[in-house]
Structure 1
Amino acid sequence: MPTPRTTWPLALLLSSGLALAQTTTSPAPATATPVSAPAAAPATPSQTTAPKPVTRVSAATSKTVSALSIGISKAVKGQLLSCPKSLKVSTQAVCLYAKSAASSVRPAVRGVVGAQALGDWKTSGQASSLLVQEGGNLAAYVLLSTLSPQETLIVIDAAQARTTTAKPASPAGVVKGQPYLLDKDLVGVVNVINLGAGKYRMNAPGQAALTITVGSKLAQRGAGTVDLPMTPLTDGTNLIFPVANLRALGCTVTDSANGITIACGSDSIGVKPIVF
C-alpha cells in the first residue's frame, strides 16, 4: 500500500526543534522511515479524523525505538506515518501523528518512558525533546513538534552516546591514565565559551559560571576563586578538560558500559573520555 502524503507545516519543526535532538544522534541519511501498513493519513491536519493506535512498527527499528513507539502510540492514540524526507533522522526512526496538543502529549510520553528518561523535556520554540536510556546508556530520543494547537508530530529515533572521534596529541602537562574531555564533548550539559587568551567560561545548569585558565588549577566564580583538582589543558585547538574537574561545576559522573554518564542538574549525556 503506498505511503500517504501529508501537507503539514514541517517548517515549524525544521526551524525550531530539530537541532534540539540532533546533537545526540548519529549521522544518518535523510530518508523516510519504512513503515508497515500505515493507516490512511488526512490531506490536511484540519480534516483529520481520529487515528487508530499503532500496534506494530517497521522491523528496521531498534528494540528501544520499537518498544517506545508502540507504548507511545497507544498512550496518545498515534497514527504511524512515513517520516518527512526533509528531516535528518535515521532509518530506525518512527514518526507518529497525534490529534492532541503537545501539552497533553508530553506527560503521556513521559509516563511511557518512565525511569528510562535522562533528565526532563527540553523545549525550544515549537519543539520538545526527551532523551531515553537503556541499561544506563543513551539509546533514543523522542521529539515533539507542534503542527497546530491540537496536532503534534512525534519522532522516535535511536541515539548514540557521543564518542571522541580523534584523539588529540598529548599536550604538555597531561597526567597519564587520567580521563579528559574535549570542550565539544560537554555540549548538552555544560555551556563552554572560549574567551581567548587561554580562558574559558563554563556554565552548568543551576550553577554560577566558572572561568578557567589553561595551565592553571585556579578558577574564578563570581568574586571568588575555586581550586580545581587538575589542570585544564589545550592542544592548541581544543580545550582538554579533566573529568575530575566536573564536580567543580556541580556535575556528577557515573561509569557506563560505553564510557561515562555526566549529569549536570537535570541534564545528562553519555560520552567516552580520552585517556592519554
Structure 2
Amino acid sequence: MSALALAVRDSNTMLRRNLLHARRYPSLTLNLLLTPVMLLLLFVYVFGDVMSAGIGGGGADRADYIAYILPGILLMTIGSTVIGTAVSVSTDMSEGIVARFRTMAIHRGSVLVGHVVGSVLQCAMSAVLVGAVGLAIGFRSTDATALEWLAAFGLVVLFASALTWVAVGMGLVSPNAEAASNNAMPMILLPLLSSAFIPVETMPGWFRPIAEYQPFTPAIETLRGLLLGTGIGHNGWLALAWCLGLAALGYFWSTATFDRDPR
C-alpha cells in the first residue's frame, strides 16, 4: 500500500473516531448546531427593528435585514464551531491518547486531519441548518444562480477549513481545554467587529479600519454578494487571500507544533 493510501486510510479512521465522539456527546453537538440558530432568531426578532435602521438609509424592513444578516451569521457559525475543535485537540493532547497514537504504526498527520475534516463537516451541517432556518423565516435569494450558490457553499467550506487549522494550532499550544476555549475566543469576537450586523459605513470613523481589515468582513461581503447579487468588488480576492493565508499559517503551525510536542 502506498504512503498516500495509508495516509487516507488512517485519516478516515481518525475522522470516524471524532464523529463517534460527537455522537456519544449529543448535547455538545446540539449546542454547536443550535447556538447560531438562536443568534439568528435573536438578532432578527429582538434587535432587528433597531439594527436595520443602519441599512439602506434607515428604510430596511425585517425581510431586508434577514437578507443582510444571514451571510454574517453563517460565517459566525464557523467561528463558534471551531472553538469546539480547539478544545477537542487540547483534550486529546492532555489526556495522553495522542501519546498512544505516536507508538502505533499510523500516519502522524492523520490525527490532525481527522479533527480538521470532522470540524469542517460540523461547520457545513451548521451552515445548512442556519440557511434552512433563514429560508423559513423569510430569506430569499432570487437573483443567485446555481453556480453562485455553489460558490457560496465553497467559500463557507474554504473559510471553515482555514479557521479550523488555526483552531487546531490553538488547541495544540493550550495546556488544557479551558485555555483552548479562551485562546479561540477571537473566532467569535471578530464577527461581532465586522460587517455581519451593520454596514461598515455606519460605524465610527476610528473603528472602520478594525472592521475592514480583518478576515470576516471580506468573506461576509463576498458571501452577501453571491447570495444577494450585490457588488463584491475586491472583497472576493481579499476573502480568498485570507482563507489561503490562514489555512497555510494554521497548517504549518499545527504540524510543526504537533511534531515537536513531547506530550
Task: Indicate the TM-score class for this superposition, using the shorter chain for normalisation.
Answer: under 0.3
TM-score (norm 1): 0.22
Hey, which of these two has a bigger chunk of strand by percent? 1
Hey, which of these two has a bigger chunk of helix by percent? 2
TM-score (norm 2): 0.22
Higher-RCO chain (CA-CA 8 Å, sequence separation at least 6): 2
